[in-house]
Structure 1
Amino acid sequence: DMTLRSLLLTAAAALILPQGLGACGKKEGDASPAAAPAAADVAVETAATSPTVRTSANPPSVTREFRDWTATCDNTNHCVAFGSAHENMGFVLVSLAPGAEARPVVHMGGWGLEDGQGSVHAVIDGRRYAGENSKMDEEGDVIAFRNPSPQLVHDLGNGSFMALRRGDEQMKVSLGGAAAAFLWIDERQGRLNTPTALIRRGDRPAAEVPAAPAAPRVAVAAAVAQNGLVQDDLSPALLAQPKVKECLAETRRGERFEPNVEVSRLAADKLLWSVPCGEGAYNFSQAYFITPADGTSPRPVAFPTAAGSEDTLVNSRYDPRTRTLFAFGKGRGLGDCGRMGVWAWTGERFALLDEKVMPSCTAVPQDLWPTTWRAAT
């Protein structure tokens, strides 16, 4: 898990495009045509599994909205609930792993509370909560409660007024829907009426909380040499593909767009072609094809996701050293919302290793985004 997490975050940092920062300005939600995910992907409730990697032991990945809060549980029952601060400038996020021994972790933070005397802290119905402060970036702060008190978790679920404060400044946070989100997670993880429940605690033994379902396993193909690849021309067979013709119409600026095509060797007799297929202020999409070594008989690649599959990825690149392909469709230029995914080449197909989705542009750092799919290697 730590290897996948490191890979995901490193690749995300490399793909955050400078022009996106300019396009977004002062944190406005400026979605481009290629932004992901669309509201329809995650609104109200989505439940789906990746048909090519699901095992019978895994529950579906589900995201639900509860008034001003959203909750996500992935295919191994790792769950996250989060709400936004005033004008979407901040967030409160509660994560809870599955199993009897798991305990919640709380993060809060955002932009807009100017540097001043003291650190950022939370106030809920008059009670002050100060956690571990860290800088999110030059304008934002994050407070971590890695072992939150029962009172803090209780107040998040039952409080009537919450604000993030520093000095005389404050940012109000809505708790509307937090209780319902917590209850849904308790039910999903089988911890209702146990001492480990987020909101509906009772005397049922914690030992009765189910363990995490095992993540599906993916066998990654061996590395293959990349020398001798031709990067320039698409083969006639590729140029004849309807999807490539569509991509040409979207991206061609002159007589050719082949210099932006990327070719990698998957095996001695297999090539992977990345074809540019659309661009916006900060999102650049690609379609992928697999061919034999001579470029004939192209086969479009469909990438499994937690919600189905995609034949076009955003801000994506294949790394032949790790045999993984990373994509990051940004909801806005700052990269605080959208979808990130990592796929591994198995020798036969691309299998989903890790997917994170943040549907709300509320300054949540990428390493805190809810996971919607995880696999083991």
Structure 2
Amino acid sequence: MEFEELKAQINTERMIDSLQKLIETPSVVGYGKEITPMLVDFAISHNLLYTMDRRRTIYLTITGLDPSHTICFGAHLDTIGMVVRSITEEGWLDVRNLGGVNFHSLEGENVTIHTRENGNYTGTVICKSHSVHVFDDARSRERDFAEMAVVLDEDVNSPEEVAELGIEPGDLISVDPRFVRTKAGYIKSRHIDDKACVAALLEAVSVMQEAGLQPACDVMLAFPINEEIGQGGRFVPENVDAYIALDIGLVGGLQHGSEKKVTIGAADRISPYDWDLTTKIRSIAKENQIDAVLDIYYRYASDATAAMNGGANITAATFGMGTMSSHGYERTHIDGIVNTAALALACMLEIDGDALDPQFG
């Protein structure tokens, strides 16, 4: 089967439906109890072996034609959010950020507080000078975690009343995504980073299985829940030769990404990615007429970088759909997600042991 025909088998509606379900399932940094079962269900329905390490990263394994080499495709499940720091005298929640939260974007957003014993509560993110009719500095006050709070949707007016709800410091806070699909094919939502890449990766696996194909090497799919704090790929199983992080590309400024294309990262704020593996991925995109662009990233690092920082003996690369307003209310296009799924599929089928073994010169 020619790859163009195989690419046409990507089921866009199934993939976007999966994306919406992933996005609307809370998974703030460190909180995987609601979303991990979705990956287990996928593994069971596709007859894949699934395991979990002590960092609560779930792995799905696909047997390849060459079991002597393993390539790991990582796409993180966690999203940026907050954690309860303390309770104010008014019964508000003081918070700290989890990951690179942009509070200018977050102000006024609805959130869910996950307690350890009493379920979930809802609330709203506010600046402590929350009204232009009340506070002289409502417009000028800094929007940072020390100046922000969460107001609960409960009749509470003191720390004691909040404590009675079972809310306490250390509870995690998820941000509502507000998923929208437009007629022109744009996806607008929080948490496109990185759930669009998760959906693309799962669709690539589904297409490969439905076509009765095997990857060139053994494939491991990794879904960390702590990438947004730089820890997602720091542990890599010893049998992994290469780690390809599927994570969003960037749009705007000096970036070369587009929402309709898949971006192949050549370097990020820490280091360049592996020259040979990145060149191979770029060649695969060109040969298979996948709409891709090469780019470098400014304030960005992926799980593949984290894997290298953690001392893993791997080659590293990254790619993903171009995304606007990263770490805010994000936007991408279905075409970019399809191109990402297509590139993941092509890489699984074409990157073999020869491409993974290091070469001299």
**TM-score normalized with structure 1 length:** 0.23
**TM-score normalized with structure 2 length:** 0.24
Kindly indicate whether structure 1 or structure 2 has the higher relative contact order, using CA contacts under 8 Å at least 6 residues apart. Answer: 2
Higher helix share: 2
Which protein is bigger by CA-based radius of gyration? 1
Higher strand share: 1
